[in-house]
Amino acid sequence: MDEESLHPRRRAIKNIVLGSLAMSAAPGAFSRELAPQQKTETYSMLKGNINHSVCRWCYGSIPLEEFCVAVKKMGIVAIDLVGPKDWPVLQKHGLYSSMCNGAEINLVDGWNHPEFHSTLIKNYSEMIPLVAKAGYKQLICFSGSRRNLDDETGWKNCVDGLKQVIGIAEKHNVTLVMELLNSKVDHKDYQCDKTAWGVELAKRLGSEHFKLLYDIYHMQIDEGDVIRTIRQHFPYLSHFHTGGVPGRREINNTQELYYPAIMKAIVELGFKGYVAQEFIPTPKDAKGQLASLQEGVSICDV
């Protein structure tokens, strides 16, 4: 099995990036209705301490229109990792694009290698104004794979490249958010694989419009000590992703993390951003997948 097939998120993001810089028309409406069992009154029961979001790629088999209807019924207010072509669909359903994408090349060719800077600078220079015009605030980015780079060279290269677009982000009030990914299991050789590495990059860049996406699943694998790390580096974190460890499955009692405690710590820190569910649901059918998602929202709603 090739590497691409082992990483459904990498494959999904690759497909999204192709053509996402072009603002295309929203997909046509479809007639399929949600099953009655999928209807919920969770929204009225949520506590309001967490802004709930969900990553689109985990539910790619569910048509976007149907997905929007379902997640809104759960009290989810935003969807992560969608680009310009899908923003009109979210807007139609009153959902926010909490973490925009589409400017990145992929997860491995990132800001830490100068040979990718020209493409990335062009992509981000074009995408940042689109994000702002649509009323959104965050755009994802990636360090890329090390390819034998030491930390110091990686930091320098990232700073050199990002400084050429951070002024555009500041002008448009958009934050570039670099995701922390594990290099032990899912993204071998990824450079920004520890919170401290990302924080050091943020300090060197010196802009409030550069933050980190703390993926709880990834950081549990590569460094653990999740709650203390979040507290220690909280000023540099603007977004969170969930996922069960091991396997990035449901965040219930089948895995090792206790999400209510993590969410409580985030709330106590005064976090006002978004927490996006990013686990791969075990069920294969839409009804089962949405039930898993609703369970995840309930677990995180402290």
Percentage above 90 pLDDT, the chain: 85
Per-residue confidence (pLDDT) for residue 9, from 0 to 100: 55
Residue 33, in any domain of the structure: no
Residue 39, in any domain of the structure: no
Residue 222, in any domain of the structure: yes
- Domain hosting residue 50, numbered range: 44-300
- Across the chain, mean pLDDT equals 89
Please classify residue 181 by burial: count the beta carbons closer than 10 Å to its beta carbon, then call 0-12 exposed, 13-18 middle and 19+ buried. buried
Residue 24, in any domain of the structure: no
- CATH number for the domain spanning 262: value is 3.20.20.150
Residue 185, in any domain of the structure: yes
Per-residue confidence (pLDDT) for residue 45, from 0 to 100: 82
Per-residue confidence (pLDDT) for residue 123, from 0 to 100: 98
Residue 127, in any domain of the structure: yes
Tell me the mean pLDDT in the region 237-262: 97
Confidence of residue 16 (pLDDT cuts 50, 70, 90): very low
Instruction: Encode pLDDT of 25-66 as tens digits.
Output: 333 332 223 333 333 444 558 999 999 999 999 999 999 999
CA distances from 301 to 19, 42, 80, 91, 295 (A): 36, 10, 18, 24, 10
What backbone torsions phi and psi does residue 63 show, to the nearest 5 degrees?
Answer: -55, 140
Residue 38, in any domain of the structure: no
Around 34, how many Cα atoms within 13 Å sit in the side-chain half-sphere?
22
Domain count, the chain: 1
Per-residue confidence (pLDDT) for residue 8, from 0 to 100: 52
Residue 23, in any domain of the structure: no
Per-residue confidence (pLDDT) for residue 172, from 0 to 100: 98
Per-residue confidence (pLDDT) for residue 231, from 0 to 100: 98
Give the integer Cα–Cα distance in Å for 278 and 241. Answer: 6
Give the integer Cα–Cα distance in Å for 55 and 82. Answer: 8
Per-residue confidence (pLDDT) for residue 153, from 0 to 100: 98
**Helices within 39-190 (DSSP H only):** 42-45, 64-74, 87-92, 117-133, 151-172
Instruction: Encode pLDDT of 159-210 as tens digits.
Output: 999 999 999 999 999 999 999 999 999 999 999 999 999 999 999 999 999 9
